Structure formats: structure tokens, C-alpha cells
């Protein structure tokens, strides 16, 4: 049986527009992967990187952060259009409120023509991005179409342990889909999601860590109140969460709670305390609030 796999393109240039924390985490993972490919004597898929920032201070920060890759990473201050023109693939990493400020600038539309655009902007649907880029009028027949792919990951991308949700788009060519899957596989695992589920999936991938950190911090406070040093409790609880993540890949949370709970035991006492304080409802409510906020930003 034959397949329709495309031959991966190499020698590409990636332009990162707005190199903040999330875009920086992506850049770290992809740069490291490409460096390993080069060390193996092969040409990496991406050989040149461009990162744009707004301030001189940010430029210094990015240059220092990626100093070992200064031979292949160019940092540009205040000229996003130049980076877009020179890039084969454009990653939008600025703050969502800056969409009009960045994408309505003269030359952006022409610079993006025929290219793959990857957006990691929360609450920014494809229609909103298109509206900004085509603010002066609809695409003409002689303009090359560009292709927008939305992705949402978490800060663990820097360590290759992220979960990235990728919004499905049937119009993106297979060679671009292959490149996208490769890029985000360097940062951890990926999962495709339909457009109508992207906001809540983005919360599961991106915001969930911050929400769960509240529970983590509360448990540390409880351990300290019982006489334990915070550093020691942090070490134990961190590994316990890693263990829990492994278990949850194979069993439902309710099944695990039942296995953990012994009659008149410590676990069931703690679980009943959480139920009394409506902890599950609080986390459900927080997840819904984050998802709804993502939808509001997109309107």
C-alpha cells in the first residue's frame, strides 16, 4: 500500500514575531532539535531563525538567552515586516491585544502571501487574524493564499514536556501539516482538536498548569503547618505529581481515588474535606471561566 507522505523540506527560515515567554520556549525546543540534527551531519529542517522584539531591553534578553545560537538566530527590534518577508514560516507570538497593531501594518499582507502562519495567540480565531491582515480589502485572485494554523502549548515546551493542541484546518497543505507536527513534537506531545473545541482544549493544555499550581501550593502550606520544611515537601509532592500523571494515563481519576482510599484512612479523610469545600466544583468553574474568557477575547 502506498502513502501520501511528503518529503520534508529543509533549509527553511522561521520568523518569530514577538519573542516573549511562550514563543521563547518554542524557539528553545526547535533550536535545540535542529542543532542535534546538524551535529549528526544532516541538514536541519530550519537553518535560520529570526526573532522580533519591541524594546532594546528585550533584544538584549533574547540575545543573551540564545547566545550559543547567535550564528543562526537574528534578533530584530521593531521591524516585524522585515522578519515576515525573509521567513518561510511565520510564528505569531505577541500578545493577543496587539493583533491590529502588528498585522495591519503596511507590507504585512504582502510579506505573508503564500506562507505558513502558526499562531499561539490565545483567544484569537483564524477569522480575527484574517480580518486584521485583510483590513484594507479582501484577497484578490492574483494574491497567493497563506495558511494559518493555531497551536496552544504550555511553558514545559522549553523542557520538551509540553502538550500542544493543534486546531484542525482541512485547507493546510500536507507538507505544512508535516512540518507543524514535527515542530511541536520537539516540544512534547501533540493532539488535534476541532475549531469549536479549541478554546477549552487550549485551557487544558496551556492554563491548566497555573490552575493546578493553586492546589500544589495549598498542599505545601498544609505540610509546612504540620512541621515540614517547604523545600522537602516540594520535592516529595513534585515526584508524586509525576507519578500521578503516569497513573492517569491508564486509569480514570475516580478509579484511582477508590484505590488510594482505605476504610477510616488518611486519604478518604482528605477527600471528604475537599468535597466539603467543593474543590471539584471550584476547578470545574475555573476551567469554564478560562474557556469563556478565551472566547470573549476572540470576539
Contact 163, 188 (CB under 8 A): yes
Looking at residue 8, its pLDDT comes to 63
Secondary structure class of 134 (helix, strand, coil): coil
Residues 6+ apart with CB under 8 A from 152: 120, 122, 164, 165, 198, 201, 202, 205, 206
The mean pLDDT value for 19-25 works out to: 90
Neighbours of 26 (CB within 10 A): 26
Rounded Cα–Cα distance for residues 17 and 113 (Å): 16
Bridging pattern class, strands 147-152 and 162-167 = antiparallel
Kindly tell me if the per-residue pLDDT of 279 is higher than 90.
yes
At 169 the pLDDT is: 92
- 44 vs 145: CA distance, rounded Å: 26
The per-residue pLDDT for range 58-82, each reduced to its tens digit, is 999 999 999 999 999 999 999 999 9
pLDDT in tens, 177-211: 999 999 999 999 999 999 999 999 999 998 899 99
Mean pLDDT across 121-143: 91
Which among 18, 21, 19, 27 is positioned nearest to 101, based on CA atoms?
Answer: 18
Residue 7 has pLDDT above 60, yes or no: no
How sure is the predictor about 4, in pLDDT bands with cuts at 50, 70 and 90?
A: very low
Of 253, 225, 24, 227, nearest to 120 by C-alpha is: 24
Close Cβ partners of 255 (under 8 Å, ≥ 6 residues apart)? none
C-alpha cell at 221: 502550606
Q: Are 211 and 286 in contact (CB under 8 A)?
A: yes
- Decide if 15 contacts 90 (C-beta within 8 A): yes
Binding site residue list for NADPH: 80
pLDDT at 141: 85
Which residues, including other chains, have CB under 8 Å from residue 142's CB and lie 6 or more apart? none
Contact between residue 155 and residue 209 where contact means Cβ atoms under 8 Å apart: yes
End-to-end CA distance of the chain: 46
Residue 295 pLDDT > 90, yes or no?
no
Mean pLDDT value across the chain = 92
On whether the CB atoms of residues 73 and 51 are closer than 8 A, the answer is: yes
Tens of pLDDT along 243-254? Answer: 999 999 999 999
Average pLDDT for 269-295: 94
What is the average pLDDT across 114-132?
A: 94
Give the residue-averaged pLDDT of 155-166: 89
18 neighbors 98 (Cβ within 8 angstroms): yes
pLDDT at 2 over 50: no
> How many other C-beta atoms are found inside a 10 Å radius of the C-beta of residue 52?
27
Rounded distance, CA 119 to CA 102, Å? 13
pLDDT band at 46 (very low <50, low <70, confident <90, very high): very high
- The residue among 155, 281, 280 whose CA lies nearest residue 207 is 155
Q: Which residues are annotated as a binding site for NADP(+)?
A: 17-22, 52
What pLDDT, on a 0 to 100 scale, did the predictor assign at position 156?
86
In sign, the C-alpha dihedral spanning 240, 246, 250, 253 is: positive
Which residues make up each annotated binding site? 17-22, 52, 80
* Percent of the chain whose pLDDT exceeds 90: 85
Mean pLDDT over 44-51 rounds to 95
Amino acid at each position: 500500500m502506498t502513502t501520501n507522505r511528503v518529503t520534508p523540506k529543509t533549509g527553511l527560515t522561521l520568523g518569530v514575531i514577538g519573542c516573549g515567554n511562550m514563543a521563547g520556549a518554542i524557539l528553545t525546543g526547535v533550536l535545540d532539535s535542529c542543532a542535534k540534527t546538524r551535529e549528526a551531519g544532516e541538514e536541519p529542517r530550519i537553518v535560520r531563525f529570526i526573532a522580533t522584539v519591541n524594546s532594546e531591553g528585550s533584544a538584549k534578553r533574547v540575545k543573551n538567552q540564545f547566545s550559543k545560537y547567535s550564528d543562526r538566530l537574528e534578533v530584530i527590534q521593531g521591524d516585524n515586516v522585515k522578519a515576515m518577508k525573509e521567513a518561510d514560516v511565520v510564528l505569531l507570538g505577541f500578545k493577543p491585544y496587539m493583533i491590529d497593531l502588528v498585522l495591519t501594518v503596511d507590507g504585512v499582507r504582502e510579506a505573508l502571501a503564500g506562507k505558513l502562519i502558526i499562531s499561539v495567540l490565545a483567544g484569537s480565531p483564524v477569522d480575527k487574524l484574517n480580518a486584521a491582515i485583510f483590513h484594507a480589502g479582501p484577497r484578490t485572485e492574483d494574491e497567493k493564499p497563506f495558511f494559518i494554523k493555531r497551536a496552544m502549548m504550555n511553558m514545559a515546551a522549553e523542557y520538551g514536556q509540553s502538550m500542544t493542541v493543534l486546531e484542525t484546518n482541512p485547507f493546510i497543505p500536507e507538507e505544512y501539516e508535516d512540518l507543524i507536527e514535527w515542530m511541536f513534537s520537539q516540544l512534547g506531545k501533540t493532539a488535534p482538536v476541532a475549531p469549536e473545541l479549541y478554546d477549552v482544549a487550549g485551557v487544558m493544555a496551556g492554563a491548566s498548569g497555573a490552575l493546578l499550581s493553586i492546589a500544589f501550593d495549598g498542599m505545601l502550606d498544609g505540610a509546612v503547618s504540620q512541621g515540614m520544611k517547604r523545600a522537602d515537601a516540594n520535592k516529595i509532592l513534585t515526584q508524586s505529581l509525576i507519578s500521578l500523571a503516569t497513573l492517569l494515563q491508564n486509569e480514570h481519576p475516580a478509579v484511582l481515588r477508590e484505590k488510594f482510599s482505605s476504610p477510616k484512612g488518611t486519604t478518604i479523610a482528605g477527600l471528604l474535606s475537599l468535597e466539603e469545600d467543593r474543590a471539584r466544583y471550584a476547578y470545574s468553574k475555573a476551567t469554564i471561566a478560562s474557556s469563556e474568557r478565551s472566547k470573549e477575547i476572540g470576539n
